[in-house]
Structure 1
Amino acid sequence: MFGLTRARSAAAALATAGAAALLAAPSAVAAPQPIVGGTTTTTSAYPFVMQVTDASQNQFCGGTLVSPTKVVTAAHCMVGETTRSVRVVGGRTYLNGSNGTVAQVSRIWIHPDYTGATNGDDVAVLTLSRSMPYTPAKYVSSSDTSVYAAGTTARVLGWGTTRENGSSSNQLRTATVPVVSDTSCRGSYGSDFVASDMVCAGYTSGGVDTCQGDSGGPLLVGGVLAGVTSWGEGCARAGYPGVYSRLTTFSDLVTAQVTS
């Protein structure tokens, strides 16, 4: 694999138990960032941003609430997971908090063609066993392709690390990054960039990006969910923007899950 996914490794997720462990560095084999170069924010400002955790509520990925009982996340976050092993936590700004709403997962849908993040199809939908009392996000339709115009400002959110192989953020963070043209992204990632399934966002000089622990979280354009944090070469490296699932491609499939 040319790049690395941005999910926190299982070992790192387990290491988050306890106050000291919350500052432990994620495993070097994972690469979704908690947001490098961003600022702190709250789940009150972004009520649809969810923590995806293990059964002990150790966060390892992010997700976006798109209906009271449906959460969009990354397929690579769910590989090897079961409904018993996963929880979704809403309304909790801090990883070490105890507030908010915790929901068990009754169904995990992973895109049937998913084989690896750099092959595309990196999207999953979780069905919750209880409704979340938070405002869901709107998401793009299959025809909303103009949101990916190069230079468009996008917003990313997550609890990932604040630098490559660094420490995770206890508080939800956010940053803005420009959408990168497909030609430029292909120049960075070659054949690992699948234009039909992926979109890149970031600065040529680097410095702002998602990172370990941010996988599955939202890429918002105009406040609407347009992408899912997927993978990248390291975090915030110059010349290597973050790679996100291009949600217009998967919108109809997501809708089928939301309405099922």
Structure 2
Amino acid sequence: MRFSIIAIALSLAASVTAAPLEKRIIGGTAAGENEIPFIAEFLSRNSPCTGFVVHPRAIMTAAHCMNNRGRTGVVYGSNRHKGGTSAHIVKWLPHPDYNRTLNHHDIGLVFVEKKISVKPANLYTPPHSYPKTGSKVVAAGYGDIKVAVGDQPPVHSEVLNKVTLYASSKTTCKNNYHDFLGDYQFCTDYKPLGHSVCHGDSGGPVMVGTGRDRYVIGLINHGVGRGIKCGETGGYQYHTYIKPYLPWVEDEIERFLDSE
């Protein structure tokens, strides 16, 4: 039986090179307890990432988070680093068109053995649409909160952090990253300076609205700026826009459930 992932969520409640994201949310604030209950954290020494619950058996994250998954585990439902409930991963599924070099279609699903006990995120529904230039979005993730300086290592946050960002125009996104994929991505800039997301936050939700009216419209993908650190002027953050992928998400969840 075909289902709607949106219905489930509601019912249960000059060219530059793409740079690997560094490990921090900069200039953010701690998310409150249960403020983002659908958040998930992938625990890995090599490739820590964030994700979010989209179905009782599925977590969405960036496909590049699956490149070095190794012994990665996942926990969900807490604003504390390594907190929450642990889930056993049974399947990793990057999008079939994912291009690691160009960062295209950087989205994937992670299926777990048992039902997740938190309400899934609300995904794109009208009237929310592709973010307008200058519009406000909120991104969340588990990452470092202070940049490494000299011999001093970065400082890792012990709580989930969130940061307000502002959408750039498609023209700006394209001008700063020539492989920008139009309707499948959007970008945000580093204004005000000192506010950004980075590698440890990859796969985390990019949201609009608040409370029950909060919707996830994108997931954190990659940063652009040769030699530019997160939060510095001249850098942009690129995010996967979820709406075009919803049919694929629904089909794959249905296929997974039917295979059991």
Q: Into which bin does the TM-score normalised by the smaller protein fall?
A: 0.7 to 0.9
- Report the counterpart of residue 239 of structure 1 in structure 2: 234
- Report the counterpart of residue 247 of structure 2 in structure 1: 252
Kindly state the Cα deviation for residue 113 of structure 1 after the two structures are TM-superposed: 1.5
How far, CA to CA, are the matches of 2:248 and 2:127 in structure 1?
15
- Report the counterpart of residue 133 of structure 2 in structure 1: 150
Q: Note closer, same or farther for the CA distance 1:102–1:43 as it changes in structure 2 (3 Å cut).
A: farther
- Report the counterpart of residue 8 of structure 2 in structure 1: none
Q: Is the 8 A contact 1:205 1:237 kept in 2?
A: no
Q: Is the 8 A contact 1:206 1:240 kept in 2?
A: no
Kindly state the Cα deviation for residue 164 of structure 1 after the two structures are TM-superposed: 4.5
Which residue, 13, 20, 24 being the options, matches 1:34? 24
The code of the aligned residue for 1:89 comes to: V
Q: Secondary structure at the match of 1:176?
A: strand
Kindly state the Cα deviation for residue 69 of structure 1 after the two structures are TM-superposed: 1.3
1:214 aligns with 2:214: no
Q: Share of identical aligned residues, percent?
A: 27
Kindly state the Cα deviation for residue 132 of structure 1 after the two structures are TM-superposed: 1.6
- Report the counterpart of residue 193 of structure 1 in structure 2: 180
Kindly state the Cα deviation for residue 204 of structure 1 after the two structures are TM-superposed: 4.3
Note the 1:47-66 alignment, pairs <5 A.
47-54=37-44, 60-66=48-54
How far, CA to CA, are the matches of 2:181 and 2:135 in structure 1?
20
1:75 aligns with 2:63: yes
Structure 2 residues not aligned, in runs of 5+: 1-15, 149-153, 256-260
Range moving further from structure 2, 41-50 or 212-221: 41-50
Q: Note closer, same or farther for the CA distance 1:147–1:197 as it changes in structure 2 (3 Å cut).
A: closer
* Per-residue Cα deviation, 1:205-227 (whole angstroms, up to 9, x for no partner): 53211013000111112221111
- Report the counterpart of residue 202 of structure 1 in structure 2: 189
Q: Note closer, same or farther for the CA distance 1:247–1:117 as it changes in structure 2 (3 Å cut).
A: farther
Kindly state the Cα deviation for residue 156 of structure 1 after the two structures are TM-superposed: 0.5
Q: Note closer, same or farther for the CA distance 1:135–1:59 as it changes in structure 2 (3 Å cut).
A: farther
TM-score scaled by structure 2? Answer: 0.79
Range moving further from structure 2, 39-48 or 156-165: 156-165
The code of the aligned residue for 2:109 comes to: V
How far, CA to CA, are the matches of 1:140 and 1:158 in structure 2?
19
The code of the aligned residue for 2:66 comes to: M
Q: Secondary structure at the match of 1:259?
A: helix
Q: Secondary structure at the match of 1:196?
A: helix
Q: Note closer, same or farther for the CA distance 1:245–1:144 as it changes in structure 2 (3 Å cut).
A: farther
- Structure with greater Cα Rg: 2
* Per-residue Cα deviation, 1:108-132 (whole angstroms, up to 9, x for no partner): 1111121216341100101111112
Which residue, 59, 76, 79 being the options, matches 1:90? 76
Which residue, 120, 124, 139 being the options, matches 1:140? 124
Q: Secondary structure at the match of 2:156?
A: coil
Q: Is the 8 A contact 2:37 2:78 kept in 1?
A: no
Q: Is the 8 A contact 1:140 1:224 kept in 2?
A: yes
Q: Secondary structure at the match of 1:34?
A: coil
Q: Is the 8 A contact 2:24 2:147 kept in 1?
A: no
* Per-residue Cα deviation, 1:45-80 (whole angstroms, up to 9, x for no partner): 1100100124x9x98100010111111100000024
Kindly state the Cα deviation for residue 88 of structure 1 after the two structures are TM-superposed: 1.6
Q: Secondary structure at the match of 1:116?
A: coil
Note the 1:165-184 alignment, pairs <5 A.
165=148, 166-184=154-172
Structure 1 residues not aligned, in runs of 5+: 7-30
| Runs of 4+ deviating beyond 4 Å | none
The code of the aligned residue for 2:43 comes to: T
Q: Secondary structure at the match of 1:201?
A: strand
Equivalent residues, number:
227
The code of the aligned residue for 1:175 comes to: V
Kindly state the Cα deviation for residue 87 of structure 1 after the two structures are TM-superposed: 2.0
* Per-residue Cα deviation, 1:127-172 (whole angstroms, up to 9, x for no partner): 111112111101125x877232112211100111224443221111
